Amino acid sequence: MSGEPREELAGIAASLHAYLEWQEETGATGFPRRPRPATPAPTQTSSQTSSQTSSQTSTSTSTSTQTSTSTSTSTPTSTSTSTPTSTSSRSATSMSASTSTSTVSAPRALGVVQDEVASCRKCGLAETRKQTVFARGNPDAKLCFIGEAPGADEDEQGMPFVGKAGQLLDKMISAMGLSPERDVYICNIIKCRPPGNRRPTPEETETCIPYLHEQLAMIAPRVIVALGNTAAGTLLGTTLGITKLRGQWKLYKGATLVMPTYHPSYLLRPSPQQGEAKREAWEDLQSVMKELGLTLPKRG
């Protein structure tokens, strides 16, 4: 062999030896074959997709199971909500019944009551009266004066407190800074005049008092001034005399303020107590003014 082939073989051997050392260092064994083509990406993606699909299918199955369970659980809720509906229906029925009851027990209009009073013949006073005496003044007023029964002048005119006692009452009302026509409502316990201006009997009072209750229910005064023994005793259900009751706030039917005071006819009657009685009656009316927020009128 010539020198050149030997040198060429020596170079090849050296290269082969170096390659084998590299194989040993890297842990590779044998000679590499023709490289296989890499696994196509779509195949790997398909595997992942299959895995994901399987996972999603499992999740869907789980969700379906939960939904089914939720649907099954919701059944009692539907059942429980039916109870309030039934209760609401019963409440509406109860309310309707209550409204119907309150309508039946509602007081009648004043005009209707007045017409019935005008034709009333429930007691013996109907045989001796000239006409019934219902009321005068403003039914929208917050202050109501109530006396005992009509007298001769009232029986003639058909209006309460139009005689001498009524004239004094009007002066008392004016002294309060009020108008007898616009600011107060005036009526009596009894709607017919007892013969000889006597005091009404308990039977007459019991027969006639429902009319007054209806009047008061309709006008709904804030304050009632009870004039004299009969008015105070009947409204308050007491046998105490006016001298013990006057000047003290009481309640009519547990709701409406009542100030008992002397009847104007008593204030007109000459007696040693007349001056003191007038002073006390004015004090009572001043208490009423204070309750209603009225200012005492200035006197010249």
How many Cβ atoms are within 10 Å of 82's Cβ, its own excluded? Answer: 9
* All domains of the chain in start order, with CATH: 110-292 (3.40.470.10)
Terminal CA-CA length for the chain: 165
Per DSSP, the three-state class of 85 is: helix
Q: What is the pLDDT of residue 296?
A: 79
Q: Which pLDDT belongs to residue 111?
A: 95
Please tell me the predicted confidence (pLDDT) of residue 87: 37
Residue 177 gets the label, from left (phi > 0), alpha (psi -120 to 50) or beta, of left
For the beta carbon of residue 294, count every other beta carbon within 10 angstroms: 16
Other Cβ atoms closer than 10 A to 181: 13
> What's the gap between Cα 54 and its chain centre?
64
Q: Please tell me whether residue 173 adopts helix, strand or coil conformation.
A: helix
C-beta atoms surrounding 274 within 10 Å: 13
Place of tokens 């000459």: 270
> What's the predicted TM-score (pTM) here?
0.66
Nearest Cα neighbor of 227 from 264, 279, 192, 202 is 264
CA distance 98 to 87: 16
Determine the pLDDT at residue 89: 37
Helices (H), 106-147: 110-118
Mean pLDDT, 10 residues at a time, over the chain (300 residues)?
59 62 52 47 41 41 39 37 37 36 62 97 96 98 98 97 97 97 98 96 97 97 98 97 97 97 97 96 97 81
Distance set, CA 16 to CA 20, 25, 42, 196, 197 (Å) = 6, 14, 39, 159, 155
pLDDT computed for residue 63 by the predictor: 40
Rounded to an integer, what distance in angstroms lies between the CA atom of residue 153 and that of residue 136?
14
